[in-house]
């Protein structure tokens, strides 16, 4: 198989963790019969600097030609006060929309070797194994009207949370299919006691559930879910939710996993004519300007995203499992970055990447 992959390192630690992720990808490919074609493109703050746009047309072209896209992270502090339209994040939202990757899969696992890295009590966290399915191309992130309006002495800011039935159906179907391959339980998260949007969400998810009688469905309000994630993480298998709720809850999931640097993600769209899923793969963490350029960011979320890429975009389950096993081996060896609070000297980003390669 020939793997044609676009790499978008982005900003800050995005470039550092992506470098290690690419090393791991090269290593897996070298150990198999596959071949790799890597192309690099611009996204985010670096793209604004070089082209004036956070998502240059050239990047859109490269992404539509590639089999899959591997991304680092975007965001630079110099754009903190820029309007949303002119920020690096606009590039990320743009590429998600252009590729149509509507289902963002964010697995959250408590690795035994990392239990002491979580600030939560070990017995509460041990055994956590869930996947957050976050709707990614709709909701309040994209809804219109939006903007800030000055009207005489009054200023108003508007955002719109909007979902169509079709948008809810397709992401719900993805969640139920995933649950079938797991512990067969979907928890759908909404705010239906307040939002019409969530009432439609709940109604449509309940309808889709009838197509999956072997999967149990329950509904949970998002505020309660924020609490239950920490109190009773073991009760969750597949957590299905809309865009902004999923953004917030997945950072909370990072506390269960030991560090946000651990979390990978896969954003999946429709199947291509070849049968492969359109996919964008990125760690959950951001560009972390405070630690950028210091070779201390945790690359394991980015490396886990490579495993997801192999599995979802190419169906290479064995290769994906080899990457995940190597990550576990490195965690057990204790050669981890400072965010995971190892007892001895923390490893550098590069050392962790090399250790994962060596373990494959
Ligand atoms: C994420 C990030 C992004 C999001 C930001 C950088 C726009 O927080 O992927 O979770 O909100 O989707
Ligand atoms: Mg986020």
Boundaries of every domain in the chain? 1-118+258-360, 122-256
CA geometry: angle at 320 spanning 257 and 19, to 5°? 75
pTM exceeds 0.85 for this model: yes
Q: Which residues are bridge partners to 266 per DSSP? A: 105, 281
User: Average pLDDT of the chain?
Assistant: 96
CATH, domain range 1-118+258-360: 3.40.718.10
Domain 122-256 in this protein, CATH class: alpha beta
The pLDDT value given to residue 299: 98
Tens-digit pLDDT profile for residues 224-237 = 999 999 999 999 99
67 lines ligand 1 (CB under 6 A): no
Residue 143's contacts (CB-CB under 8 Å, 6 or more residues apart) are 159, 160, 161, 162
The pLDDT value given to residue 135: 98
Q: CA-to-CA distance for 299 and 283, rounded, in angstroms?
A: 9
Q: CA-to-CA distance for 244 and 135, rounded, in angstroms?
A: 8
- What's the gap in Å between 33 CA and the centre of ligand 2? 36
Residue positions counted in the chain: 360
Q: CA-to-CA distance for 111 and 90, rounded, in angstroms?
A: 33
Evaluate whether 1-118+258-360 and 122-256 have a shared fold. Answer: yes
Which residues are near ligand 2, the ion (C-beta closer than 5 Å)? Answer: 247
Q: CA-to-CA distance for 263 and 305, rounded, in angstroms?
A: 8
Whether 18 and 302 have beta carbons less than 8 Å apart is answered as yes
Mean pLDDT of 29-52: 96
Whether residue 203 has pLDDT greater than 80: yes
Hey, whose CA ends up nearest to atom 7 of ligand 1?
89
Whether 265 and 105 have beta carbons less than 8 Å apart is answered as yes
Give the ligand at the shortest distance from the Cα of 267: 1
Hey, whose CA ends up nearest to atom 5 of ligand 1?
89
Tens-digit pLDDT profile for residues 79-135 = 999 988 889 999 999 999 999 999 999 999 999 999 988 889 999 999 999 999 999
Mean pLDDT of 30-59: 96
Hey, whose CA ends up nearest to atom 12 of ligand 1?
247
């Amino acid at each position: 198989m020939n793997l044609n992959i676009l790499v978008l390192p982005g900003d800050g630690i995005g470039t550092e963790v992506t470098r290690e992720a690419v090393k791991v990808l090269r290593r897996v490919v070298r150990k198999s019969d596959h071949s790799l074609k890597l192309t690099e493109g611009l996204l985010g703050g670096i793209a604004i600097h070089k082209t004036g746009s956070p998502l240059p047309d050239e990047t859109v072209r490269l992404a539509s030609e590639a089999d899959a896209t591997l991304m680092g992270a975007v965001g630079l502090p110099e754009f903190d006060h820029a309007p949303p339209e002119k920020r690096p994040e606009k590039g990320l939202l743009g590429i998600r929309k252009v590729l149509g990757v509507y289902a963002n899969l964010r697995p959250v696992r408590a690795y035994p070797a990392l239990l002491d890295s979580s600030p939560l009590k070990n017995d509460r966290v041990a055994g956590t194994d869930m996947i957050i399915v976050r709707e990614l191309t709709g909701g309040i992130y994209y809804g219109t009207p939006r903007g800030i309006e000055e009207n005489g002495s009054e200023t108003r800011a508007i955002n719109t949370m909007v979902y169509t039935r079709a948008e809810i159906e397709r992401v719900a179907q993805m969640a139920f299919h995933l649950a079938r391959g797991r512990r067969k339980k979907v928890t759908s998260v909404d705010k239906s006691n307040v939002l019409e949007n969530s009432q439609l969400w709940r109604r449509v998810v309940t309808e889709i559930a009838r197509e999956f009688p072997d999967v149990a469905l329950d509904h949970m309000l998002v505020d309660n879910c924020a609490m239950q994630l920490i109190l009773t993480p073991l009760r969750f298998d597949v957590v299905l939710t809309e865009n902004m709720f999923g953004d917030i809850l997945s950072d909370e999931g990072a506390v269960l996993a030991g560090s946000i640097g651990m979390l990978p993600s896969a954003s999946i769209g429709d199947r291509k004519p070849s049968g492969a899923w359109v996919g964008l793969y990125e760690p959950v963490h951001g560009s972390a300007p405070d630690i950028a350029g210091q070779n201390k960011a945790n690359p394991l979320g980015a490396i886990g995203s490579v495993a997801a890429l192999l599995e979802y975009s190419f169906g290479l389950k064995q290769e994906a499992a080899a990457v995940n096993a190597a990550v576990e081996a490195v965690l057990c060896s204790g050669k981890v970055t400072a965010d995971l609070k190892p007892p001895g000297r923390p490893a550098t980003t590069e050392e962790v990447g090399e250790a994962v390669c060596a373990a494959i």
